[in-house]
Amino acid sequence: MNFFLRSAWRQSKTAFVFFTFFILATIWCSLSKIEITPFFLWAHYSDRQSPTGKFDRIYVKVNGENLDLPNISRPTREMIQIPIMYFIQLEEKSYQTSTRHILKKHLKNKCSKSLYSTIEKRLVNDVSDRDVFLNWLKRYIERIFELEVRELEVGNSVLVFRNNRTVEKILEKPVAKLNFK
Amino acid sequence: MIPFYNDISRIRLTRLVFVWLFFVISYQWWADLMLSQLESPVLLRLDLDLTYWIIHLTGIGELTRSNYPVALTFDITLSALCLLTAFFPKRIVLPLLTGIFFLVYCVLLNSYQCWHYHNIITLSLLIVPFCFKSLKTFSLAFTGLRYFVAFIYASAAIWKIFRGSVFNSGQMRWLIEHNYVDRLAIDDYKMNFLETAMFNLSNYPLLADIALILGVSMEASFILAFFTRRFDYYLIVIGVIFHLITTILVDVSFLQLWILFVVFIPMKQIERMKTETISGVD
């Protein structure tokens, strides 16, 4: 690596500055555990975990039945699952996210009301997005599963492994429900 | 030593990378994940990533969400740009445009998916070397990218060692259970032979722990790339095997990123590539 930087220095001072900046920014982001694209944190699955056999999961019910998510491709499944997880977090936090907090702290008193409102609209969600989100979820599920969604329910559940290694749902807590009839 | 790529090898690499990108985008079309297929998503998660902030502040996100023809045009343009770059590898403006469109697409998708995935956005870095006309700059950037790819895997291993998760008894069992719990919660879900075999690994804690240590060792082997090019070919093999195993065990394929291993292809393997070095380097 030092040979590479030395070679870069000899060939192009601009390239050397670019590589050095990239390396330092990546190290800083890694140590601060912050991601600012393209300075990523590469630490996948490195958090220590204890196998309790108990997992908190979201659930989606369409027309009263659980949606069969495991049978679709992972990226498509996650376009449904992860926004729901985030939606539940937003509901629990009353839509007060770190992004909104930073915006308020650094921008609210430094720009006009209309500009701040535009910025806020482009960067964060608020409580008025609640039903709009559920309507989006309905449209996307209808597209993927090719079915008509008349009733939609999302919530938290707890899944546990039994001794015989099968899985049981021990808790189901609805967070939002919408009827489209 | 910085290998000096000639015009022909650069063209070959350009075609390889951008045809791959076209397949990545084609998969996104198939998976209903292009902007025009997202049905005007509502939630967006930016966290503190300022690049995401800047892109959303331009209004492009709002525009593609609220205007289907714009979103469709964006998607088609991105797909066409990948192919055009492969067909006209000497037009520098094409990889530049592809890079911009690709980065914007990844940022918007990750924002709407509410999770900042690395599986395709990392490819925008692979596009960077192709945006330089000079072969010298291309060679420098492409060589720099080789260290970056090595860093991706080395960093993942170092974090697991640093946090102690690699030697944490039960860690692998948790990972497998975490991956399989949703499927097993469905009453009539039938696991296939491979899934059954992999899930059964979680029933043997010692074997599962050994599997994790082996996996982290594979990631750690990329540290070698910082010191020598001698093992580059083996690193490609290790990388592919590693991802095949993670696909089966923890449902994480990162298949889209496999093209990054192109930086480890030994010079002599790229047909008709000159093996000169830039004068004055080690």
Beta-strand ranges (E) seen in A3-99 are 54-62, 65-66
pLDDT interval class at A17 (50, 70, 90): very high
Q: Collect all residues of chain B within an 8 Å Cβ-Cβ radius of residue A131.
A: none
Q: Are residues A70 and A114 located together in one domain of the fold?
A: yes
Number of domains chain A is built from: 2
Report the pLDDT value the prediction gives residue A107, as an integer from 0 to 100. 85
DSSP characters over B150-211? HHHHHHHHHHHHHTTGGG-TTHHHHHHHHHHHHHHTSTT----HHHHHHHHHTT-HHHHHHH
Closest by CA to B154, choosing from A3, A1, A15, is A1
Closest by CA to B58, choosing from B24, B103, B21, B124, is B103
Q: Are residues B121 and B235 located together in one domain of the fold?
A: no
Q: Are residues A2 and A78 located together in one domain of the fold?
A: no
Residue B112 has pLDDT above 80, yes or no: yes
Q: Are residues B115 and B201 located together in one domain of the fold?
A: no
Higher pLDDT, B278 or B219: B219
- Buried (b) or exposed (e) across B150-166, using 16+ Cβ within 10 A? bbbbbbbbbbbeeeebb
pLDDT interval class at B279 (50, 70, 90): very low
What whole-number distance in Å separates Cα of residue B127 and Cα of residue B96? 8
Q: Look at the block and give the residue holding tokens 């720099």.
A: B144
Report the pLDDT value the prediction gives residue B267, as an integer from 0 to 100. 66
Q: Which residues touch B165 (CB under 8 Å, ≥6 apart)?
A: A45, A46, A47, A48, A49, B171
Q: Are A154 and A60 in contact (CB under 8 A)?
A: yes
Nearest-CA distance from B250 to chain A in Å? Answer: 10
Residue B273 has pLDDT above 70, yes or no: no
- Buried (b) or exposed (e) across B106-131, using 16+ Cβ within 10 A? bbbbbbbbbbbbbbbbbbbbbbbbbb
Residue B139 resides in a domain: no
Residue where a domain terminates, one of B74, B105, B133? B133
**Per residue in A116-143, pLDDT tens?**
999 999 999 999 999 999 999 999 999 9
Q: What is the largest CA-CA distance in chain B?
A: 67
Q: Are residues A109 and A165 located together in one domain of the fold?
A: yes
Q: Are residues A88 and A136 located together in one domain of the fold?
A: yes
* A41 phi, psi to nearest 5 deg: -100, 115
Residue B272 has pLDDT above 80, yes or no: no
Residue B249 has pLDDT above 80, yes or no: no
What whole-number distance in Å separates Cα of residue A141 and Cα of residue A133? 12
What whole-number distance in Å separates Cα of residue A159 and Cα of residue A166? 10
* Chain B 67-86, residues with CB within 8 Å of chain A CB atoms: none
Phi/psi zone of residue A67: left (φ > 0), alpha (ψ -120 to 50 degrees), beta?
beta
Compute the average pLDDT of residues B51-61.
Answer: 95
Q: Are residues B129 and B7 located together in one domain of the fold?
A: yes
Q: Are residues B182 and B264 located together in one domain of the fold?
A: yes
What whole-number distance in Å separates Cα of residue A48 and Cα of residue B99? 36
* Chain B 230-259, residues with CB within 8 Å of chain A CB atoms: 250-253
Q: Is the ipTM beyond the 0.95 threshold?
A: no
* Chain A 155-174, residues with CB within 8 Å of chain B CB atoms: 159, 161, 165-169
**Per residue in A77-107, pLDDT tens?**
999 999 999 999 999 999 999 899 999 888 8
Q: What percent of chain B has pLDDT over 90?
A: 61
Q: Are residues A9 and A88 located together in one domain of the fold?
A: no
Number of domains chain B is built from: 2
Residue A61 has pLDDT above 80, yes or no: yes
pLDDT interval class at B236 (50, 70, 90): very high
Nearest-CA distance from A178 to chain B in Å? Answer: 16
Nearest-CA distance from A174 to chain B in Å? Answer: 18
* A180 phi, psi to nearest 5 deg: -105, 5
* Chain A 96-115, residues with CB within 8 Å of chain B CB atoms: 97-99, 102
Q: Are residues B152 and B223 located together in one domain of the fold?
A: yes
* Cβ pair B147:A4 closer than 8 A: yes
* Cβ pair B175:A7 closer than 8 A: no
pLDDT interval class at B1 (50, 70, 90): low
Q: Collect all residues of chain A within an 8 Å Cβ-Cβ radius of residue B160.
A: 43, 45-46
Give the domain range for residue A110: 54-179
Q: Are A170 and A158 in contact (CB under 8 A)?
A: yes
Q: Are residues A36 and A90 located together in one domain of the fold?
A: no
Q: Look at the block and give the residue holding tokens 């991105």.
A: B78
Q: Are residues B156 and B122 located together in one domain of the fold?
A: no
- Mutation to test the A interface, candidates B25, B32, B228, most A Cβ within 10 Å: B32
Q: Are residues B233 and B278 located together in one domain of the fold?
A: yes
Q: Are residues B197 and B102 located together in one domain of the fold?
A: no
Q: Are residues A77 and A145 located together in one domain of the fold?
A: yes
Q: Are residues B6 and B123 located together in one domain of the fold?
A: yes
Helix (H), strand (E), coil (C) string for B197-215? HHHHHCCCHHHHHHHHHHH
What whole-number distance in Å separates Cα of residue B153 and Cα of residue B216? 9
Length of chain B: 282
Q: Are B242 and B219 in contact (CB under 8 A)?
A: yes
**Per residue in B126-167, pLDDT tens?**
999 999 999 889 999 999 999 999 999 999 999 999 988 888
Report the pLDDT value the prediction gives residue B271, as an integer from 0 to 100. 57
B29 at A interface, C-beta within 8 A:
no
pLDDT interval class at B270 (50, 70, 90): low
* Cβ pair B38:A140 closer than 8 A: yes
- Reading across the β-sheet that carries A167-179, which strands appear in turn? A65-66, A54-62, A151-161, A167-179
Q: Are residues A20 and A97 located together in one domain of the fold?
A: no
Dig out the tokens for A63 from the structure.
Answer: 């027309």
Q: Are residues A111 and A172 located together in one domain of the fold?
A: yes
**Dihedral, CA atoms, B102, B108, B114, B115, nearest 10 degrees?**
20
Q: Are residues B109 and B149 located together in one domain of the fold?
A: no
Residue B66, burial from CB neighbour count under 10 angstroms (0-12, 13-18, 19+): exposed
Q: At what angle do helices A74-92 and B93-113 cross, to 10 degrees?
A: 50
Residue B75 resides in a domain: yes
Q: Are residues A61 and A44 located together in one domain of the fold?
A: no
Q: Are B38 and A140 in contact (CB under 8 A)?
A: yes
A10-14, A21-25, B78-82, B220-224: segment of lowest average pLDDT: A10-14
Dig out the tokens for B171 from the structure.
Answer: 């860690």
Q: Are residues B63 and B162 located together in one domain of the fold?
A: no
Residue where a domain terminates, one of B133, B159, B178? B133
Q: Are residues A80 and A138 located together in one domain of the fold?
A: yes
B275 at A interface, C-beta within 8 A:
no
Residue where a domain terminates, one of B82, B112, B133? B133
* A51 phi, psi to nearest 5 deg: -75, 95
Dig out the tokens for B156 from the structure.
Answer: 């993942």
Residue B138 resides in a domain: no
Q: Are B131 and A12 in contact (CB under 8 A)?
A: no
Give the domain range for residue B64: 1-133
Q: Which residues touch B32 (CB under 8 Å, ≥6 apart)?
A: A76, A79, A143, A144, B38
* Cβ pair B49:A169 closer than 8 A: no
Q: Are residues B148 and B266 located together in one domain of the fold?
A: yes
Q: What is residue B277's DSSP assignment?
A: B
Residue A59, burial from CB neighbour count under 10 angstroms (0-12, 13-18, 19+): buried
- Mutation to test the A interface, candidates B68, B107, B184, most A Cβ within 10 Å: B184
Q: Collect all residues of chain B within an 8 Å Cβ-Cβ radius of residue A125.
A: 42-44
Closest by CA to B80, choosing from B146, B12, B25, B141, is B25
Nearest-CA distance from A89 to chain B in Å? Answer: 11
